[in-house]
Amino acid sequence: MEAMPKERVEKLQALSTKQLLIKYLSPQKGRVILLALFIFINLGLQLLTPQIIGQFIDSVTQKETLSKLVRLGVLFVGVAFLQQIFAIISAYFTQNVGWSATNALREDLTQHALNLDMRFHKTHPPGEMISRIDSDINTLNDFFSQFLLQLVGNILLVAAILIILFFEDWRIGLVLTGFSVIAMLFLTRFRNIAVPHWEAERKAEADFYSFLEERLAGTADIRANGGRSYTIRRFFGLIQSMFKRSVKAAFMVNILINSMFLIFAVGNAVSLGVGGALYFNGIITIGTVYIVFQYSRLLERPLDQISRQLSNVQKSLASLKRVINLLSTESKIVDPHQLREKSLSDGLTALGQEVSLCFDHVSFYYDDQPEQALVENSSPEPVGQVLTDINFSLAPGEILGLLGRTGSGKTTLTRLLFRLYDPQAGTIYISPHPSQSQAVDIRQIPLSTLRSKVGIVTQNIELFHASVRDNLTFFDSSINDSRILEVLHGLGLSHWFNSMKNGLDSDLESGGGGLSAGEAQLLAFARIFLKDPGIVILDEASSRLDPATEHLIEKAVDRLIKGRTALIIAHRLTTVQRADKIMILESGHIEEFGDRQALTLNPDSRFNQLLRTGLDEVLA
């Protein structure tokens, strides 16, 4: 998925709630105009029916002919039928407009979330993001629908009823206008009473789904380590928190709704009282009394619907606030979409297998600490610091064997190369030419270009519920099938592929279900062959393979890294036998770096000691 342009992100972040609605409704001007037309027709038909019944009553009292009464009856049935037809059409267009608008918003929100840096995603687990992108947007779909059909339509209906009542009698119009003003003032004053409570309820829901997603993913570990009791207690604790906040928010809404019921009862009594008084004084007819009463009831309906919809509207306002907050979150990884110098851009476009790599005094920490804490010789070191003053370079085609204990910073170093994070100090350079004079700061390279030139195979393979083709190409349709089949054959996967009923269109299970660890690892290698990067990272990529399967890919790995700059993260000393240089990390520092042959022959080197003692477990 392509990144959303930075200018578009900035515009989204500056939007208010009103502007957000306008932005996502404006592309549907035609449908919105049709919807408005149908709403007006529906309103007109609703206003017409009391007039027909009123005239029918007056005709009966005045002993009009039966034919006239039949005509009025047929007219009433016809108008009522048309009203229902236009109500259905209005509802259809309302949902159509609402879903189209919210789907566009969902797309923008998803792209924005995918482009946020790893610091954000480490503090916002998948369950929370699902709640924001799916649940919040679903709530907003109702908001678009209710806003268009209920709020706008009902407000217009109230205004039309009051105008007609003034034409019937100015006193009736004045009294019911006062009633409507009081009701609307009440609604306006208390319409946001539940917003904070619904926002808290949505936050509790996001926390619950985040917890649930993590625990379901770790079911095997929870059961194996006796964590079921704690998980259940925590589950019920989150459920209880969500329940309490939901009840409190619903209670606030019910206070509003019940208050409106009382106001409506008073309004009906007033309309009957005023209409009856005017009738007994001979000012209006009995048919007009019915019209006044029916319009007062019709006036009650939109106001009642407005009050009932406030619950959903307030939920939506809370969701809108969360959506706008997410859109306002900026990634700390700045993506340069356009390079200033055309020659530099051309050089990076041609970045292929002849790539040099340089880490120039790079330091990095995960925790937020003052930048000045990274000044050379500062003490103590920043809390959470993972890499300190990493300084090395690789010529094009050189292979670096990266050794170190777990937690020494090996994986973090590769994350910096992908720009999943940016270092707080130092610079990482990539050169499309052997000469370092052409080296480019990776922060000047568009992320899509950089990540297309770096390939990685890890121990944990992520496979999606998608076809074999999509899993291997990452949904890149530009890679032809013949190339995919060539790579599968070269990796010795022909027998496995021939067992797939639908070939490249066969679906794989999410997480690699149905595949052996070796088959999944080989598919990860196939991805890298198809990507054809200039830099390859192997994070103990063969550790999950049985000896027979590992033997199948040895030649393929040699072919993959030939002529490419490669980093091999190893937990076993035998893995780095093809490396040109060796780096040993210890607590984020370079303990040793140099030519593998030289370090092997140097009896004082750390690498030589590891080879002599065979302490592979030291690296684990």
Mean pLDDT (10-residue bins), the chain, 620 residues: 48 61 80 82 83 81 81 88 88 83 87 85 80 79 66 79 82 82 72 74 83 83 85 90 87 76 77 80 79 78 70 71 82 68 45 76 73 43 69 90 85 88 90 65 86 83 85 87 88 84 85 73 85 84 62 71 84 78 90 91 88 62
The residue whose two tokens read 């589950």 is 235
CATH match for 6-327 among 3.40.50.720, 2.30.29.30, 3.40.50.10490, 1.20.1560.10: 1.20.1560.10
- pLDDT at position 383 is 46
Instruction: List the end-to-end C-alpha distance of the chain, in Å, as a whole number.
Output: 36
> How many angstroms separate the CA atoms of 89 and 42, rounded?
10
Tokens linked to 249 = 């928010």
Strands, E, within 8-49: which ranges?
none
> How many angstroms separate the CA atoms of 424 and 371, rounded?
7
Q: Is the dihedral of CA 12, 18, 22, 25 positive or negative?
A: positive
Strands, E, within 462-587: which ranges?
535-539, 565-569, 581-586
CATH class of domain segment(s) 342-453+533-619: alpha beta
> How many angstroms separate the CA atoms of 570 and 224, rounded?
28
Where do the structural domains in the chain lie, given as residue ranges? 6-327, 342-453+533-619
- pLDDT at position 616 is 54
Give the Cβ contact number of residue 479 at 10 Å: 17
> How many angstroms separate the CA atoms of 2 and 502, rounded?
29
Give helix 286-327 / helix 195-217 axis angle, nearest 10°. 50
3-state secondary structure of 537: strand
- pLDDT at position 296 is 78
> Are the beta carbons of 472 and 523 closer than 8 angstroms?
yes
- pLDDT at position 463 is 83
- pLDDT at position 157 is 83
- pLDDT at position 487 is 87
Distances 70 to 16, 78, 149, 291 between C-alpha atoms, Å = 55, 12, 34, 19
- pLDDT at position 363 is 92
The residue whose two tokens read 């279900």 is 513
3-state secondary structure of 393: strand
The answer to whether domain 6-327 and domain 342-453+533-619 are alike in fold is no
Q: Which residues, 6+ apart, have CB-to-CB distance to 14 below 8 Å?
A: none
> How many angstroms separate the CA atoms of 545 and 548, rounded?
8
Question: Which string of b and e fits 420-450 if b means at least 16 CB within 10 Å?
Answer: bbebbbbebbbbbeeeeeebbebbbbbbebb
- pLDDT at position 392 is 92
Give the Cβ contact number of residue 145 at 10 Å: 22
Tokens linked to 282 = 């001979």
**Three-state SS annotation for 144-160:** HHHHHHHHHHHHHHHHH
φ, ψ (nearest 5 deg) of residue 189: -70, -35
